[in-house]
Amino acid sequence: MREIGHWIDGKRVAGTSGRHADVFNPATGEVQARVALASKDEMDAAVAAAAKAQMAWGATNPQKRARVMMALVGLINRDMDKLAEMLSSEHGKTFPDAKGDIQRGLEVIEFCIGAPHLLKGEFTDSAGPGIDMYSMRQPLGVVAGITPFNFPAMIPLWKMGPALACGNAFILKPSERDPSVPIMLAELCQEAGLPDGILQVVNGDKEAVDAILDNETVQAVGFVGSTPIAQYIYSRATANGKRAQCFGGAKNHMIIMPDADMDQAADALVGAGFGAAGERCMAISVAVPVGEQAAEALRERLVPKIEKLKVGPWTAGNDVDFGPVVTKAAKENILRLVESGVEQGAELVVDGRDFRMQGYEDGFFVGAHLFDRVTPEMDIYTQEIFGPVLSMVRAASYEEAIGLAMDHEYGNGTAIYTRDGDAARDFASRINIGMVGVNVPIPVPLAYHTFGGWKKSGFGDLNQHGPDAFRFYTRTKTVTARWPSGIKEGGEFNFKAMD
């Protein structure tokens, strides 16, 4: 049995709490490893070691820190397949999707190479008689990230990259369901030149999370996961005087206007709704066709595409569309919600309840499902299913369609499919949702913009990656200075290198 511990002070270490969690192979249902669950004492020791190491790292000039990011980019590209294979084996997503998970995290590390520019302050000459004013961005110290199972490479990289580039030490508490890739990334950070102790990967459960939230040394916490946990972490972190950015659940709507290219919209819905078995916070789970004609045209195209989806383990080849969900409990919850949809009167057009993967009967596979004539009071509409289930909610007008998305408690992402620029512009302007796609099904911003939802999908004032991340992981200091005028020393003729 493979044993997974922690990454502390630049090396793998075994856990000492005596507590462990099973790491499954989602395709077979078998336990493939055990991961140590840290105690409060273990977490506190990791934080203390990080604080000690951070002082020198914070004093290192931004160019040197950026060079570590640059080296890390090369190393991740070198080990892309190795990382993706491990990710697929623990999470269950297909090999191409695992590589995409890593790639989207890598893009944030590429953005962090620009840290010297992003950390520049402001300067005002002669703000008063002989007085200059300037500001500087300085690291917070020790910060932490608590990341989810569904993107075990991307979201840790989104959190750690900007934090480290800003000069902080970073405590990563990844999901205990797929913990291997974060430790592999820590090893690559060390190879890239990151000093020992600056990145600590501490596996654990609620005890480890609470230890982060209550530790006075930790200055900021970033989280991605469900909304109830996001609210809990945000409330407890801020009550303890920490900065917090916490991102929760989603129920992402796609509005399909009557003038949309229905073939394009159907292709987009199938990819956005069923990719990664629907275990994405930016998955489209609600299709809202406007008008009965559009609804019938969309349904006619969706059904054969969904019925042809290939489900299987990541080892079955790159033509697999999606794999198993992450745990047996996740599978059971998805099927429970599907049953509730049937009981509450939705029309189950594509029924995946009886799906069985030959040779993998004990795996956590869930077939694709399509509901039609879903209404807003149904559980499958109000709750985040996080599985391969797409719901169609028919709207009589554009106003009704946009109202559905605006009235839902979640506000992570949304999209509109249309050829009408006026409708698209109105939609983008009015919608109370954080990330909007116009003929783009999964509108995840690129690394140099920021990622974040509204309403109950996001808690905190600043978003993930992009310029907001550098604001979140630094504090601004403003200096007002007056110096006697006049040159006191002779000139200097050597051009000094930035060491």
Instruction: Kindly report, residue by residue over 338-397, the tens digit of the pLDDT.
Output: 999 999 999 999 999 999 999 999 999 999 999 999 999 999 999 999 999 999 999 999
Count how many Cα atoms sit within 13 Å of the Cα of residue 353 in the half-sphere of its side chain: 13
Q: Spelled out in words, what is the top-level CATH class assigned to the domain 2-248+457-480?
A: alpha beta
pTM value is 0.94
- In this structure, CATH architecture of domain 252-438: 3-Layer(aba) Sandwich (3.40)
| pLDDT at position 7 | 98
Whole-number Cα distances in Å, 431 to 62, 63, 240, 406: 38, 40, 34, 6
Out of 166, 189, 246, 281, which one is annotated catalytic? 281
List the chain domain ranges. 2-248+457-480, 252-438
Mean pLDDT in consecutive groups of 10 residues from the start of the chain, 499 residues: 96 97 97 98 98 98 97 98 98 97 98 96 90 96 98 98 98 98 98 98 98 98 97 98 97 98 98 96 97 98 98 94 97 98 98 94 97 98 97 98 98 97 97 97 94 96 94 97 73 65
- Alpha carbon distance 402, 408 (integer Å): 10
Q: How do strand 474-482 and strand 131-139 relate by DSSP bridges?
A: antiparallel
Q: Note the pLDDT of residue 483.
A: 86
Tell me whether the CATH fold assigned to 2-248+457-480 matches the one assigned to 252-438.
no
* pLDDT recorded at residue 22: 98
Determine the pLDDT at residue 494: 72
pLDDT of residue 487: 60
What is the total residue count of the chain? 499
Edge to edge, the sheet with strand 142-146 lists 11-13, 6-8, 199-201, 169-173, 142-146, 218-224, 243-247, 458-459
- Residue written as tokens 């990145």? 199
Instruction: Provide Rg for the chain, Cα atoms.
Output: 24
246 is catalytic: no
Return the axis-axis angle of helices 292-307 and 262-274, rounded to nearest 10°: 50
Q: Please count the other Cβ atoms lying within 10 Å of the Cβ belonging to residue 307.
A: 13
pLDDT tens by residue, 73-104: 999 999 999 999 999 999 999 999 999 999 99
Q: Which two tokens stand for residue 223?
A: 């989280």
Distance, in Å, from the CA atom of 414 to the CA atom of 436, rounded to the nearest integer, reads: 5
